[in-house]
Amino acid sequence: MTPAPGVTADPADPALPVVPLRHRGRFVAGLIVLVLTASFLVNVAGNPNLDWPTVGEYLFAPLTFRGLVVTLWLTFAGMAIGIVGGVVVAVMRLSANPVLRTVAGLYVWVFRGTPILIQIIFWGFLGAFVPTITLGIPFTDVVLYSAQTSTLIPATVAALLALGLNEIAYGSEIVRAGIQAVDHGQTEAAKSLGMTPAQTLRRVVLPQAMRVIVPPMGNETLTMLKTTALVSVIAGQDLLSNLQAVYAQNFKVIPLLIVASIWFLVLTTLFTIPQRRLEQRFGRGVAGSAVARRPFARALETWKARR
Amino acid sequence: MSSAPPAPVIDARGVTKSFGTNTVLRGIDLEVHPGQVVCLLGPSGSGKSTFLRCVNHLERIDGGRLLVDGQDVGYELRHGKLYELTERRIARRRAEIGMVFQRFNLFPHRTALENVVEGPVVVRRRSRAQVLERGRELLDRVGLADRASAYPSQLSGGQQQRVAIARALAMEPRLLLFDEPTSALDPELVGEVLDVMRDLARDGMTMLVVTHEVGFAREVADVAAFMADGVIVETGPPRQVLDDPQHERTQSFLARVL
Ligand SMILES: Nc1ncnc2c1ncn2[C@@H]1O[C@H](COP(=O)(O)OP(=O)(O)OP(=O)(O)O)[C@@H](O)[C@H]1O
Ligand SMILES: [Mg+2]
């Protein structure tokens, strides 16, 4: 017997048809945003002031690549200084020695408390404050080495110094948080095996702290990459410095800034790939990390299973 | 020297220890001789863990003397004075004492086998290849030969604690300290850890064990010591201390535990 229209079907039927909810509101909102975005892009791209030929001309110019090399070098060398120095300052801040603790605290206070732009200009103009750098024995007239500051510290080195010293302050806070996140029982287990404090730090504490340190350090690297643009104020030879030198001559400011932006987008996108891999590596042995290890493979499996 | 009776491995005389104004140890006297198993029992907060931690210098004592293998823990006796040791030398002495913790404290970023060989490789500077075989033997000894490449998070509590024991054994310690090794375990996993400890006792390992397992103490210990409020109130053969306690504190504690 077939049920009459309007009469409820048998609730025990295991194969009842399912009607999914239609998200009409979502559809309308999506359409509006899509139209607005498209009209914006058409307007921008069609703007004659944008001058796409100039963008194309400089996108792969040798001067752009020279700038990119300096930008990348500044980023990685700056991060290297920041990480190594950050570990040192973090260990100082956690040490039992009150002098080390205070000095480290002061360092972080000064470098985090002043704008990076000022720090960059400061290092760039160091020659004005300290015309010669002298290495001697304090409180005597013995001079071991002396040189003009400006010859000793060219603009790129001043830029690296500024970025690196600043990054130490931020890096040390990240490393400190990472070290403090490691269970104290780990230190005790390492000590009772007979490890020295240095061995305990290197073999037991830091590897585990890495899990906490790597994600924010990845973000720091991205921030550092973009912050390198600031060293253009002291003509640091980086990507933006080089492009600025061009638009100072031909006044094509917007196209050249677009060239810079395209390259920064490319680099920031590329940077997120090694970050993911590092996070997986240092998540070893942690419950649940096997799940995070291969998100694509897992998504594929789920998808296959559903079909 | 050689004709003298073997010196105690642990020789505590009037050991005191405070945390700020809180006096936790009020004069501990205890001897542990080579090959002995001494079980330390007592109510929570009586200072059992603190004393154990003093023995391998995770805590520093405030008074009295605490000798391990005839040497002051954390000090060197020269010309009638006790000179404080450097961190490096303290570490070297700790390497001779194994410790097993209530919460296992395995290194989570290393496999079971890597945990076991970590001490020999880092502290004794043996080559990894040399110690891997011995590491496998030790895992076999605690019944975990097949879990060598598992990470701690993939092991049960009982398995983790057995790896922790193997890790301590890898240093070939003169003395093993256990701080409530089964207290964090589900009841059905306690037995496998106690079995391993029983085997060690049979093999002549010197052990100081803080435990609430009265049955284990009665069966395995050579000496049971009962601690309350920072002093050892009663000590002797387990049959005497546990089955016929003389001190009122011991009696009331055992009445509650059993
Ligand atoms: N690092 C520390 N700082 C301050 N007080 C401490 C510290 N460690 C232990 N104490 C105190 O010392 C006392 C004894 O602690 P201890 O851990 O030695 O007791 P216990 O006998 O091992 O107890 P339980 O059976 O609960 O483990 C407690 O009152 C505790 O609060
Ligand atoms: Mg305790």
Residue spans of chain A under pLDDT 50: 1, 288-293
The proportion of chain B whose per-residue pLDDT surpasses 70, expressed as a percent, equals 98
Q: What is the pLDDT of residue A23?
A: 84
Q: What is the pLDDT of residue A300?
A: 59
Of A189, A203, A287, the CB nearest to B153: A287
Q: What is the pLDDT of residue A82?
A: 96
Least confident of A264-278, B41-55, B164-178: A264-278
- Ligand 1: centre distance to CA B48 (Å): 8
Is pLDDT at B95 greater than 50 in this prediction?
yes
Q: What is the pLDDT of residue B4?
A: 64
For residue B211 and ligand 1, the question of a CB distance below 6 A is answered with: no
User: Hey, what are A24's tokens?
Assistant: 């009409």
Rounded (10°) angle between helices A52-59 and A62-93? 70
Ligand 1 pocket test, pick from B28, B46, B213 with the greatest ligand atom count within 8 Å of Cβ, gives B46
Q: Smallest CA–CA separation between B116 and chain A, in Å?
A: 10
Mean pLDDT of chain B: 94
3-state secondary structure of A235: coil
Q: What is the pLDDT of residue A49?
A: 75
Nearest residue of chain A to residue B152 (CA atoms): A285
**Alpha helices, DSSP H only, in chain B?**
48-55, 87-94, 112-122, 128-141, 157-169, 187-202, 214-220, 238-243, 248-257
For residue B49 and ligand 1, the question of a CB distance below 6 A is answered with: yes
Q: Which of B160, B128, B130 is nearest to B144 (CA)?
A: B160
Report the alpha-carbon distance of residue A7 to residue A33 in Å, rounded: 43
ipTM of the complex: 0.93
Report the alpha-carbon distance of residue B39 to residue B9 in Å, rounded: 15
Q: What is the pLDDT of residue B19?
A: 96
Q: How many CB pairs (< 8 A) connect A and B?
A: 77
Give A27-79 pLDDT, tens digit per residue: 899 999 999 999 988 888 888 778 888 889 999 999 999 999 999 999 999 99
Q: Smallest CA–CA separation between B123 and chain A, in Å?
A: 6
Nearest residue of chain A to residue B91 (CA atoms): A194
Of B91, B110, B167, the CB nearest to A196: B91
Q: Long-range contacts made by residues A48-56, C-beta under 8 angstroms, separation at least 24?
A: A49/A254, A50/A254, A50/A255, A50/A258, A51/A252, A51/A254, A51/A255, A52/A255, A54/A252, A54/A255, A54/A256, A55/A255, A55/A258, A55/A259, A55/A262
Which residue's CA is minimally distant from atom 31 of ligand 1? B45
Say whether B101 and A207 touch across the interface (CB within 8 A).
no
**What residues in B contact A188, CB-CB < 8 Å?**
58, 99, 101, 105
Q: What is the pLDDT of residue A273?
A: 83
Q: What is the pLDDT of residue A289?
A: 47
Place of tokens 């490319």: A266
| Residue A237, beta-bridge partner list | none
Q: Smallest CA–CA separation between B258 and chain A, in Å?
A: 31
Is pLDDT at B239 greater than 80 in this prediction?
yes
**What residues in B contact A286, CB-CB < 8 Å?**
108-109, 153
Say whether A195 and B109 touch across the interface (CB within 8 A).
no
Q: What is the pLDDT of residue A51?
A: 84
Report the alpha-carbon distance of residue B122 to residue B93 in Å, rounded: 15
In this prediction, residue B198 has a pLDDT band, given cuts at 50, 70 and 90, of very high
Give B27-47 pLDDT, tens digit per residue: 999 999 999 999 999 999 999
Residue B180 CA: which ligand 1 atom is closest? 27
Residues in chain B whose Cβ is within 8 Å of chain A: 56, 58, 87-88, 91-99, 101, 103, 105-111, 118-119, 122-123, 151-153, 164, 167-168, 171
Which residue's CA is minimally distant from atom 2 of ligand 1? B19
Residue A63 one-letter amino acid: L
- Ligand 2: centre distance to CA B58 (Å): 13
- Ligand 1: centre distance to CA B44 (Å): 8
Of A192, A207, A208, the CB nearest to B94: A192
Residue B49 CA: which ligand 1 atom is closest? 22
